Chain A
């Protein structure tokens, strides 16, 4: 808890909190504006109303979230790398792995908050515009949790890269290359591409039904565990040279 509260203090004026809140708010505004303007076109699609609500809007939500994740993870460690702040941490009686896990926890919580804002907007729109009795709250929550878990591998990958590379432009470059690789491979049927965490986050947007794809979910969970273990080991072994 001590490490978590210290990391929260460090985030002040870093831009991490405003970015992740902006992700939630922009996503929510997009959902509301899009459905308000295109509701007739969207509901005319040959899909179940809940599938329309969730799958037709998730693509842009995923993009906004991905931009937020890339930027926030870069900034999260930029405060440590610039002005050698991390060096000071290495000279204090604190476990460096606690810094990594606390930063990760903060970002996961912020992503969860932004997802909650976005899915609240989806719930609002669903209640307002979907045909009577077709809105299913449980389907919305299940899909929200599914897409949240699918977003975590990219967050873990980016925080790991950000922790290892002190030059923010390289970290940002990795994020942008990842973003394009995800865009290029998300529509493919080749399962191997799902190893790429940037493809995983886009994957739910490529389907026309809001069911949970367990094979993709398993890949996401495995990647979460792998990135967690790798991040922890590298952080534990690292020294400030």
Chain B
């Protein structure tokens, strides 16, 4: 299996604050990679770097064999993304918003209807995007990520703003994507309980540092070895974060 996304010692510094510290992550082709961490762990910053929204302080990354920033346009042609709050033109309808993206990606006209259909927005396609509810805006964001069936999807907390039914629907959709479109998904969340239902591999980030990277199966084994219940990884995840925070506090005192 090829590595679709690979970062090498990726670091992002803001003055004296390190948001992402020496991060090396590996996302395998055709897999769903759950990127976990508490709020402010550096998940969004990492994803922003992968999309060229923010410049890495040091380190590098390769996406589908292409180097950034030399092959920025080629990389972005292959990525569908949803980062933080959905981004759209409020003066345009949902359909017109997707049509702009379709035009940029040089996709056929049918791609717009297809994307609206996937996220369940077909009947609201002609409504102005600024009049959408939060959940509908999130769906529009996901539709703009899915349009044209890109081989790589980067989704930053895509269930934000969705009701429980919408969250369930979104999870099922994300889970089916590798089989449906043969795509690779990098998805972030601060809830392991959410990610463990869909991910093949996971990376746990805290204060910009990768605490664990590997398969969900291996994490379960580790959990059992450490005395946690294998069917409740959330406890182990929280304990890992707490231990790391405690170690940091100790280092800071010394």
Q: A interface vs B, CB < 8 Å?
A: 2, 5-6, 9-10, 12-14, 79, 82-88, 90-95, 239-241
Contacts and interface: CB of A to CB of B under 8 A. Distances in A.
A81 to B, nearest CB: 11
B183 interface: no
A13 to B, nearest CB: 4
A168 to B, nearest CB: 13
Most interface-central of B85, B89, B101 (chain A CB within 10 A): B89
A3 to B, nearest CB: 9
A13 B72 CA distance: 32
B73 interface: yes
A2 B89 CA distance: 18
A93 B81 CA distance: 12
Instruction: Classify the secondary structure of A's interface with B.
Output: helix
Interface of B: 51-55, 72-74, 76-77, 79, 81, 83, 85-92, 96, 99-101, 103-105, 128-130, 144
Nearest to B54: A241
Given A88-B144, A93-B74, A239-B52, A83 B103 contact: no
Nearest to B79: A91
Nearest 10 A-B pairs (CB), nearest first? A84-B87, A88-B87, A87-B87, A93-B76, A13-B91, A93-B73, A93-B77, A83-B90, A240-B53, A85-B89
Contact of A83 (B51, B52, B129): B129
A83 B54 contact: no
With most chain A CB atoms within 10 A of its CB, the pick from B91, B130, B144 is B91
B145 to A, nearest CB: 9
A12 B54 contact: no
A92 B74 CA distance: 10
Contacts, number: 81
B76 A92 contact: yes
A84 B85 contact: yes
Contact of A9 (B74, B103, B129): B103
Given A14-B91, A88-B87, A2 B103 contact: yes
A127 B8 CA distance: 73
Nearest to B51: A91
A6 B103 contact: yes
A1 B19 CA distance: 39
Contacts of A241: 53-54
B77 A90 contact: no
A9 B96 contact: yes
A197 to B, nearest CB: 28
Nearest to A82: B90
A93 B106 CA distance: 10
11 contacts: A12-B92, A79-B89, A83-B87, A85-B88, A85-B90, A87-B87, A90-B53, A91-B51, A92-B101, A93-B104, A239-B54
